[in-house]
Each structure stands twice: as C-alpha cells, then as structure tokens.
Chain A
Amino acid sequence: MSGIKFIDATLRDGNHALKQQISTDTVEKYCRGMDGSGVEAVIVGHGNGLGASSLQVGLALETDEDLLGTARKSLRSTKLGAYLIPGFGTIKDDIDPALDIGVDLFKIGCHCTEADTTRQHIEYVKFMDKTAYGILMMYHLATTDRVLEEAKKMQSYGADGVILMDSAGASTPELVKSTVCSLVEALDIEVGFHAHNNLGLAVANTYIAVQEGATIIDGTLRGLGAGAGNCPIEAVAALLQKEQYDLGLNLYQLFDVSKEIVAPLMNPPLSGLDDISIVSGMAGVFSAFKVHVINASREFKVDPRDIFMELGRQKVVAGQEDKIVEIAEKLQKGEIRR
C-alpha cells in the first residue's frame, strides 16, 4: 500500500456546481455505488458545509440531516464525512446532530490565516473520538510561512491532518510544490491537497502534491465541483496507478459511479473550464462564487468577468458572496472602472 487516502468531496463540492440542489435520492445512489470502492470517506452536504444553507451562499434543496442520514444508511465500509466552516455552522446546531447521525470524519475549514477559529471545533471532534482534518482554504493568498504557522496551530488542536484547499484554482505548480514540501517537513500529521481546475492544473497539481509527500488526495468524481471543478479522482488515481502506486482503489467501480451517477448530474453551463472560471482562477477568487457572479451579472447587466477581476483586486475570501452584488451595482453605475 502506498498510504495514500482519497477523500471524496463529490457530494459536497459538487453541490456548489449544482446550486446546492443535490437530492437524497442522488446521495443514496451515489453512496451505494461508492461503498467499498477504497476511498477513505465520502463527504456529504452543502458546498460550504454544515449550517451553510443560506441566501449568501445558496439555499440547499435538502437539510444537512436528511443528506447525512441518507448517506449513513448507504455506507458500510467507507467512512461518512462532513465539512464545517466555523462562522457558518456551530458545534451545537451542526456538529452534535451530525455526530448523532453517525458521521465518522469531520473536515473543519477556515480561511488560510484564521486557524484559531477552528480550535473549539477540532478539539471537540477529537474529544468525541472522531477523525478531524483541518482545512486551510484559499491558501494561495498567504505566504508559505504563514500557511505553515496556521497548519501547526491545527496540529496543536489535535487535527489528524491538514488539507490545503486551492479554492480558487489559482495555484501554480511551483506554489503547490513549495507549500506542500514545507508542511510535510514540519508537521507530524498527514498533509492533503484539494485542487480546483480553473487553470487546467487540478490533476497536475494534485500529482505534484503527492510527489512532495502529501498523503491525502481530496477530489471529486469527474471533477464535479465549484467553478471549473475539482481534481477528478478517477483520473489522478489512474495516473498514480500508472506510476506504480498501489492505491487499493477499485478503479472500475469509480468509473462506473462517475459515468452512471455523476455524469447525468453535470450542468454544462455551470461546470467546466469556461472563460468565467479561468478568470476566477486568474483573479484568485473562490470558485463557488461563479453561480452568484453569473446571477449578479444578469441582474445588473454587467460582464461577469469584470466582477471577478474586481473581487480579486479586493482580496475577498470564502463566504463574502455579498460583495458580488455591491461590485455589480457599482460596475453598473460606473463607480468602478473595468
């Protein structure tokens, strides 16, 4: 065994691409299909995690409890995971009910410079004897030293691993290499990488992360996910297998679920490497803003690419979708120049 774990975020990040409309029916079919495939865990829920169904990010079709409860029934050997961003969800309203449902693994995320907002939650999950991974979102916006400092905080709270999220798909291969290398050298816990494909580098960047010592690959089947999508698990798995990594994955099982369950969900106007997603990657803006940027560009009759470039100039972070409306309105009034 190579010791590489795959975390499957299809039903979580994919929810962004599907405007948070994933149904319990899809969750049931998907989890049945993926159970025993060799992936470590299937993460289920709203794109921004537990408690994030909102006007700001998007109202979910189903409640967190219904989605997790459905998944729980369909997963036997594969772990069930949930994501939580402090500031959106809380221990009382969200982690406790998820524990009752039987979630095995929690990813606790924050902007890459704000690890101390995850202390309560990581410590709580560990206290409850479950797996906790710390997630540093939008890591391209901070220096490598700062990212390392924040990762060390998560380690000190008891996290089992730290996963870097390239939330904007803005990473260059050089940045992946230097950041992953520095974390792997300095931390005693596992390091993971979650790629986005805005610059067409999701598989390549994930592969580089593995070469630098990352042992957690966080991706989605067929790349279904926010913006240009994520690292397609089946493709990177095939690449690693070709390079003689023994992954313990049933590749055909992944292919079948990808083809039979994920492909029919895909929404061409919202996913893929189109101009809007590429501009989002250039500007270094959270991939999941795409849906809201398109909506605002229609409402205020402005170019979505201009909105993305201005969001990038203003260095907005995940959760700041309300800036989109303000910028669209200012572009329309000519208060912001293109």
Chain B
Amino acid sequence: MDKVKVGIIGTGNIGTDLLMKIRRSKVLKCEIFAGWNPDSKGIQLARRMGIATTSESIRYIQNNPGCCDIVFDATSAKSHLYHAPILKELGKFTLDMTPAHVGKFCVPVVNLSEALDQDNVNLVTCGGQATVPLAYAISRVAQVEYLEVVATIASKSAGKGTRDNIDEFTQTTKDALIEVGGIKRAKAIIVLNPAEPPITMRNTIYAIINNPDMGKIRQAVGEMEQEIRKYVPGYRVILGPVLENGRVTTSIEVTGSGDFLPQYAGNLDIITCAAVRIAEKYAMEKMGRME
C-alpha cells in the first residue's frame, strides 16, 4: 500500500514525538523533518533514523512543494500565524499543533469528520485534547452551569513553545471547551511541576451541575474513556466522577508510550496521537479517492 507524504515543521518535543509515531504508520511517511536549528536533539535523532532533515524550516517546503501533502506545524503560535497562509497557498492539509487557532478545532473523538474538509485544523492543546471529550460527554447527560479544567504537566515535558505560549494555552483550551465541548461557561488552568521523578500528565475536570445524575455521568465518562483509549492507550480516569464539596470532580492521567520523552509525558501523546489519527483518516480518504 502506498503512503501519503507528510512534512513536520518544528523539531522540539511535539515534532519529534510526531515523527516517531508517523514512522509506525501504515499510511503516512515523513518526507521532511524541518526546523531552524541544525543541531537540535530532534534533528540529530531524525538524521540517525535516516529521515531527510532541513534547517530551513518552512522555506524548504516552499522551495520543494512536492515533498509532502500533509504538514504538521509543531512550532509556536506566533510562527504558525506566519506559516498558515503559506501552507494554504501551497494547498497543504495542515495540522496545527500550536494554540494559534487559525483553523477549526479538532478533537478526534468528538468531531473528526468535520476536520477532513478543512485546509487547516487546530489541535487545541494537550490539556484540551485530554479534557474536551469528557466535557462533551458530561454536557450530553447533564446541564453544566460551569466547567473548569486544570492540566498539570511535568516541567521536563514542557518545551519552549509551551512556555512561550502559556497565555495562548489557557485561552485556546477554554475556547475549545466552549466550541467543541458544548460548555457555556468554562475556564482552563495550567500548572507545571518540576518534581523528580517527573509526574505523569494529569487533568482535573470540575463541573457545577444542578442535581447531577451521578449514575448517568459515570457511565458517560466511562464510555468516553474507552473511546479515547482506542487512539491514546495510556488515557485513564483515576478519580471519580465524584460529587464532592458541591462540584462534580473527575481526574485523569495520561501515560505516554515513551516514544520521544519517557512515559510521564502523556501530554505529548494525547495531542500527537490525535493529530496522527486525523492525518491517517485524511490519508485513507485521499488514497481511497485515488484508487
């Protein structure tokens, strides 16, 4: 079976983790791994794996437009604002891993099919990928007055992009809870914890619900957990949903597959697995049409 060619811009934690996952894909093949820094850890690793690399970032794709059909942009929100129109002009199906929110949000378990018609799809944030599905599940069985998520990640797993974009992270996560999760009023908080050994990515979802039917909520959360585990095997509810101190509280942990960073960095997997799932679906449809 042929594979659809992809390019990755950004050779940090997210870009490199994507590369590792795409190597295992039956329908995607990474043709170019592009950054600015020729000595980044990610680029060195890609070179050792025999992947074509460049330190010309997006310019390489502009100069070699035939190198790929799908582009993953794992740079920063600021850079993506510059990249997005270029990639649109080149006709690339673009998966934006930054919180720039140029294109429509996609959280595959909720709205995968809508993403495939777009030219630019935004992957929200790691916290958004982890919590929007549960917000969506809960809001379908309960009248949610307010919902809040707290994402806690290990310092070591937060690269420069995450740190530089901390405002965009909270803003974009909140927006996705409303737009995709169907919540009226929402808030997102992010916390970095430097403890050693590093902590596993953890998210808590608090919901204010009048007279919650806890049986229904538990069932909805359990079913959604199983759906997410189909593409993020390390996703697991560790607390609740439990009604305590007037709020419905659910905590989840995401253990990574340890592709680039060790298993604690589930925040990489939750967003890279989602992006790969969208790209694979797109690739299959594309090849289906070609046949």
Binding site for B on A (CB under 8 A): 54-56, 86-88, 90-93, 111, 113-114, 116-117, 119-121, 141-142, 295-296, 299-300, 314-322, 325-326, 329
Contact = CB atoms under 8 A, between A and B. Distances in A.
Given A90-B171, A113-B155, A54 B189 contact: yes
Contact of A320 (B148, B170, B193, B238): B193
A325 B239 contact: yes
Given A117-B163, A322-B249, A326-B239, A90 B170 contact: yes
Interface of B: 146, 148, 150, 152, 155, 160, 163-164, 166-167, 169-171, 187, 189-195, 199, 202, 204, 206, 208, 238-239, 242, 244-245, 247, 249, 251
Nearest to A114: B192
A22 B245 CA distance: 21
A243 B192 CA distance: 41
B170 A299 contact: no
Those 4 A-B pairs whose CB atoms lie nearest each other, nearest first = A322-B204, A315-B195, A319-B191, A90-B167
Nearest to B247: A55
Contact of B244 (A119, A314, A325): A325
Nearest to A86: B166
B167 A319 contact: no
A117 B161 CA distance: 10
Contacts of B190: 87
A55 B146 CA distance: 10
A299 B148 contact: no
Given A54-B148, A295-B245, 13 more contacts: A54-B189, A87-B166, A87-B170, A111-B192, A116-B164, A117-B163, A120-B166, A314-B195, A315-B195, A322-B202, A322-B204, A325-B242, A329-B239
Given A90-B170, A117-B166, A56 B192 contact: no
13 contacts: A55-B148, A88-B170, A88-B189, A111-B191, A111-B193, A119-B164, A120-B164, A120-B166, A142-B194, A316-B195, A317-B193, A318-B191, A320-B193
Contacts of B206: 55-56, 322
Contacts of A321: 150
B164 A319 contact: no
A120 B167 CA distance: 9
Max count, chain A CB within 10 A of own CB: residue among B152, B194, B195:
B194
Max count, chain B CB within 10 A of own CB: residue among A87, A141, A319, A326:
A87
Max count, chain B CB within 10 A of own CB: residue among A55, A314, A318:
A55
Given A55-B206, A56-B148, A320 B191 contact: yes
A141 B242 CA distance: 32
Contacts of A119: 163-164
Contacts of B150: 56, 319-322
B244 A114 contact: no
A329 B193 contact: no
Contact of B192 (A92, A117, A296): A117
A326 B251 contact: yes
Nearest to A327: B239
Contacts of A55: 146, 148, 206, 208, 247
A165 to B, nearest CB: 16
Contacts of B189: 54, 56, 87-88, 319
A90 B77 CA distance: 15
Contact of A111 (B164, B194, B208): B194
Nearest to B148: A55
A120 B77 CA distance: 13
A54 B195 CA distance: 24
Contacts of B146: 55
Contacts of B191: 87, 111, 317-320
Max count, chain B CB within 10 A of own CB: residue among A315, A318, A322:
A322
Contacts of B204: 56, 322, 325
A299 B244 CA distance: 7
Contacts of A92: 167, 171
A91 B171 CA distance: 10
A93 B173 CA distance: 14
B125 to A, nearest CB: 12
